[in-house]
Amino acid sequence: MFKHRFLLLVFGGLFLALAALASEGPLKIATFQADVTPPLGAPLLHGNSAPAKEIVDPLSARGIIFLTDQLPIVVCAVDWARISNGGYDAWVEALAKAAGTSKDRVSVHVVQQHGAPGLDFSTEELLAAYGLSGRMFDPVFARKAIEGTARAATESLRKARRVTHVGCGMGKVEKVASNRRILGPDGKCIMTRMSACRTEAGRAAPEGTIDPYARLLSFWDGDRPLAAVTYYATHPCSYYGKGEVSADFVGMARAAREAALPGVAHIHFANGGDIACGKYNDGAPENRPVLAARLEAGMKAAWEASKKTPISAADVAWDTRQVQLPIRKTLDEAQSLRDLEDTKLPVQKRVYATRFVTWIRRVRSKQPIQLSCLRIGPAYVLHMPGELFVEYQLAAQKMRPDAFVCMTSFGEGGPGYICTKIAYSQGGYETSWVSMVAPEVEDILMPAMRQLLGSAVPTQ
């Protein structure tokens, strides 16, 4: 008996030692990219825009797979307007299968260009039952785009590269972002300054609350850069709505950095539901390259300011929280169904009604939404749902002042805009029917973010 226990201790200790050595092994990454440009004639922006009539520049889905001694981690940014509900689930499931991992270790986000399609298979299923299939997006194209991206992810695993260092850098972006919500003396929202602001009063108003910095994570094999992942908070829209398919000024800035660093994969993530470039953009097409150059300069500054830190597989961690978001009290399933059935209403209003029904049923079914955090060396990256206000990003940075904190939202798009609690009392476009959650959403998200970041900082 003693000999048996001794052998168990020996082999158990050996197993733990080997596991420890494995976790200290090299980190590897695989980067992938696929074309997700819609065909001409396809609906754009959930049908809120003219259908695609011209491909100004192609759209892409870009991702990175982190390979450690644990199951792979996948993060992906898609040049689309929104991915929601069953559409989001389809993306996650396809990429999880492609990378050989579990669904909870995948996070998908749109970059949120508006000259691009949206996706929601749950809403499409209900629309199809009323003869409105394909009015929100092209479902055949969408499935092909998901399949193509999944294939690219699988193929990338054969070219995975060792990572020895991670770089962290910040660069200030001048005259791009501005807060969309302009408050009056009484604290109420008196104007919404959208991506293109055509009033002098709107452009003259202060920038408001923004995060002016582009943040960058870079991955290196010795002195050779492999990938650059950027984060910047603003709606990435200069002009749209007439059928031009485009990755917009964010895509132009990303392409410029690719050209400057050949062979380095570039992936960009966005945030900032209440942020746009309206202060610096009146919607004139010639402003797009100007905004792109300004963002590019910030990305370049972040690259040049980066500090490299040695890294191994042991320095990578992934944590998640499953949350139930509170439904907006004004949402009415019965009325939304009546609107869906009313053939006299404009198609777009019927589509919106269907989206409301989908979200109401999702919340009532207790299907959670996942928040996740990637820790990689000194950096933490929060992956969030909806069109999240920039105030959440700024709060996250305060929770971990000792760390390099990045955030992307525009993940699961079902909730629409996710505002702060005080914003709902201030009014404004973002707090109207485009937000499908209640003000108490802040009370759910802030503690979850704090847990994911491992912060003991109390709620302010």
What are the sequence ranges of the domains in the chain? 25-453
| Residue length of the chain | 460
pTM of this structure: 0.93
Q: For the residues of 90-142, what is the DSSP string, one character each?
A: HHHHHHHHHHT--GGGEEEEE---SSS-EE-HHHHHHHHTTT-TTSSS-HHHH
Q: Which of 8-22, 207-221, 262-276, 395-409 has the lowest mean pLDDT?
A: 8-22
Of the two residues 246 and 1, the one the predictor is more confident about is 246
- Give the β-pairing of 106-110 and 73-78: parallel
The pLDDT assigned to 24 comes to 58
Q: pLDDT per residue over 66-113, tens digit each?
A: 999 999 999 999 999 999 999 999 999 999 999 999 999 999 999 999
SS3 helix, strand, coil % of the chain, rounded to 5?
40, 25, 35
Q: How confident is the model at residue 4 (pLDDT cuts 50, 70, 90)?
A: very low
Q: pLDDT exceeding 90 applies to what percent of the chain? A: 93
Q: The tokens 């777009």 sit on which residue?
A: 348
The pLDDT assigned to 3 comes to 39
**Token pair of 127 as six digits:** 């629309």
Whether residue 264 is predicted with pLDDT greater than 60 in this model: the reply is: yes
Q: For the residues of 352-367, what is the DSSP string, one character each?
A: HHHHHHHHHHHHHTT-
Alpha-carbon distance of 91 to 384, in angstroms, equals: 16
Q: The tokens 């980190």 sit on which residue?
A: 27
Q: How far is CA 420 from CA 87, 169, 305, 387, 396, in A?
A: 26, 28, 32, 11, 14
**11 Cβ contact partners less than 8 Å away, ≥ 6 residues apart:** none
Position 92, amino acid: V
Continuous segment of H or E residues that includes residue 157: none
**162 Cβ contact partners less than 8 Å away, ≥ 6 residues apart:** 26, 27, 28, 221
DSSP code, position 344? T
Of the two residues 367 and 455, the one the predictor is more confident about is 367
Phi, psi of 127, rounded to the nearest 5 degrees: -60, -40
Q: For the residues of 299-319, what is the DSSP string, one character each?
A: HHHHHHT-EEEE--GGGEEEE
Whether residue 22 is predicted with pLDDT greater than 50 in this model: the reply is: no
Q: pLDDT per residue over 135-179, tens digit each?
A: 999 999 999 999 999 999 999 999 999 999 999 999 999 999 999
Mean pLDDT of the chain: 93
DSSP code, position 417? E
Angle, alpha carbons 120-125-127 (nearest 5°): 95
The pLDDT assigned to 177 comes to 98
Residue 55 · residue 35 · CB < 8 Å: no
Q: How confident is the model at residue 381 (pLDDT cuts 50, 70, 90)?
A: very high
Q: Select from 143, 117, 122, 133 the least CA-distant residue to 48.
A: 117
Q: Is 19 helix (H, G, I), strand (E, B) or coil?
A: helix
The pLDDT assigned to 15 comes to 34
Whether residue 375 is predicted with pLDDT greater than 70 in this model: the reply is: yes
Q: How many CB atoms lie within 10 A of CB 204?
A: 9
Q: Is 246 helix (H, G, I), strand (E, B) or coil?
A: coil
Q: How confident is the model at residue 455 (pLDDT cuts 50, 70, 90)?
A: low
Q: Diameter of the chain by CA atoms?
A: 87
Alpha-carbon distance of 17 to 405, in angstroms, equals: 32
Q: Which of 13-17, 20-24, 62-66, 329-333 has the lowest mean pLDDT?
A: 13-17
Position 428, amino acid: G
